[in-house]
Chains A and B, each alone.
Chain A
């Protein structure tokens, strides 16, 4: 028999009034008893629709069955068969649109807390200390991976398991991509990212930091250095701006800059650390995705008195994870929906003072299927702000496409790759946000996995 409870067991959490002043992780996850209890809600469907919602095909009913029996190590091993970064996915995947959206238990009541269970297993294994993985007999081939974000790490890990000699080239000084510079500590602790990356390195993957492909070394030179194939997982890290007057005033940040200063450079600890960040009393964050939520909640934690999310559509269209929107509201972030900025104004020294916005209403659906926001005539109004964070999305960085002859890209900059990740260049594969534009961690991992398989098929032929 299974547990008939209609509701998902809540995870332990820091209280909102406490956590809005610290960068410690908000969700404390399940303990052993809680994990076993939630696991009993899974009915172990034979056809496992949940698995079709997981981009890397984790054997969900199988691992949950192990959790139910208290066999946590076995559960972890089951997950790791297809997912190299479970401690991360369990925390940052939008499960409500993936595995959990397909869960039979979700038809009436809450779906099984698959994400929380995955996270529990990964955290359990990390605390226990994992045995060093078996080294695989080298097969004589070398593969270069560009970028150490989720797609690159997954591709590298899968190839290493097949005996490839893999080196990842990372432009920044710390590997992890968006996991280290983008997603904040209170959502994804950095020690955990380091440990997950260490499990990939333990497979024999080498990581060279401070290596900007396109500047320090070109893609073609990687082949000269003896690599047989290259996987490009360079992400979508080029920030978009609104293109409105006043965007270059002091106090206007791209979300990438704001979050990089805080997460990667630890500006929250300034002056113990050397990188400053400026957060005023009144902060406006423009956008409705996870990045906007992360920026808004970081600003609160850095002492802002009033933080507003400014979003041009309604709450229903916001692409952010439900849990993060909920957390942001609990912490006191204001939500100004159907609002769009049209100009930012500053003082004589060039510091932001206020922002002009217009009200929007929703018209006909656009190409994305979401109702298009239209400006309400005569609805202009000003709000007082001293910091503005622009979080309206990112595009792929042009550095690699501009320095790699023959690499075909979309008009908007995404690298063109087939369903196996193969690009227009022989033995050059790509995946993740570099191909799709900004998407999710788990989709990037799925793309890394697919490309690893394709590279193996090509090189072992």
Chain B
């Protein structure tokens, strides 16, 4: 069992948890993920490692309530335990020599929480990091102090313009590129349509762009191929070959179709859970 040491709601849909998992904490690196299972009938879901403390043996995860399992996870409190928590899985990010180079780290939605440790790691390697992050509105902003510290230049976009900068992260990226900012390297993490849009924007400039793919996963150790993607015309398993890939080589169209495979079942499972919670509440 893996005890939840801390739970903090970052905004109405996003929650941070620190979980006691010494083996994972000891080995974790940027770009890697864990798979957890809440209870005996639970499913296995992948979540990126947002931070770790090797000394106390804790691992930080940040998740968004989107379906049955993440809603259930959000109902747990510090002191509760998760049945299974395995990792670190996937490959550690490889940045190459970025010392003194200007890079952009772009995060959308929950991807911001995952992009943040990338910005930290790149800064530590001596890169000059611009962070571009996007929220629906400024009330949903998360980790603002951390993002400020992790980057030289922080650009915050909102869909509704509630912070004065209206538009998507790609709008900010376009502006940067058009005004002549030369990025050696771009990291984009977020929903697949956003990552694809970033890749299309950097492609004509020939800027190496890394994306962190988030396909459906089951075991996360390479034994089933549920997470397979086409990258540069070859089939790759995101759990062992990735999750980070050269975004210019990823077949996003296929990946997006695959990620929608169980949408009907996901909806059913979620509704059933919400119904149960309402019934339980009515009995109190």
By a beta-carbon cutoff of 8 Å, the part of chain A in contact with chain B is 171-173, 209-212, 215-217, 237-239, 241, 247-248, 250-251, 253-254, 256-257, 260-261, 265-266, 269-276, 278, 349-350, 397-399
Contact = CB atoms under 8 A, between A and B. Distances in A.
Interface stretch (B6-14, B37-45, B145-153, B198-206): B37-45
A209 B230 CA distance: 31
A256 B225 contact: yes
Interface string B39-76: 00111100000000000000000000000110000000
Top 6 A-B pairs, shortest CB-CB distance: A350-B257, A276-B265, A257-B224, A274-B43, A237-B223, A210-B86
Contact of B269 (A238, A257, A265, A270): A270
Interface string B4-29: 00000000000000000001100100
Interface of B: 23-24, 27, 37, 41-44, 68-69, 83-89, 218-219, 221-226, 228-230, 235, 240, 254, 257-258, 260-262, 265-266, 268-269, 272
Contacts of A253: 226
B223 A256 contact: yes
Contact of A274 (B41, B87, B226): B41
| Majority DSSP secondary structure for residues of A touching B | loop
B87 A215 contact: yes
Contact of A238 (B86, B222, B260): B222
| Majority DSSP secondary structure for residues of B touching A | mixed
Contacts of A210: 84-86
> Which of B68, B218, B230, B260 has the largest number of chain A CB atoms within 10 A?
B218
Nearest to A237: B223
A399 B262 contact: no
A349 B84 contact: no
A294 B211 CA distance: 37
Contacts of B272: 271
A350 B230 CA distance: 14
Contacts of B84: 173, 209-210
21 contacts: A171-B86, A173-B44, A211-B86, A216-B24, A216-B86, A241-B235, A247-B235, A248-B230, A248-B254, A254-B224, A254-B226, A256-B224, A257-B218, A257-B226, A261-B218, A265-B43, A269-B41, A276-B265, A278-B261, A349-B257, A399-B222
Contacts, number: 115
Nearest to B43: A274
B27 A274 contact: no
A397 B23 contact: no
A260 B219 contact: yes
A171 B44 CA distance: 13
A173 B86 contact: yes
B222 A397 contact: yes
B221 A399 contact: yes
B223 A260 contact: yes
A238 B265 contact: no
Nearest to B84: A173
Nearest to B240: A399
A404 B222 CA distance: 17
Contacts of A209: 84
Contact of A248 (B228, B260, B266): B228
B224 A276 contact: no
Nearest to A276: B265
A94 B87 CA distance: 36
A254 B221 contact: no
Given A173-B84, A237-B223, A272 B41 contact: yes
Contacts of A247: 235
B27 A216 contact: yes
Contacts of B219: 171-172, 260
A398 B222 CA distance: 9
A173 B13 CA distance: 28
A68 B257 CA distance: 61
A103 to B, nearest CB: 36
B88 A257 contact: no
A350 B257 CA distance: 6
Contacts of B86: 171, 173, 210-212, 216
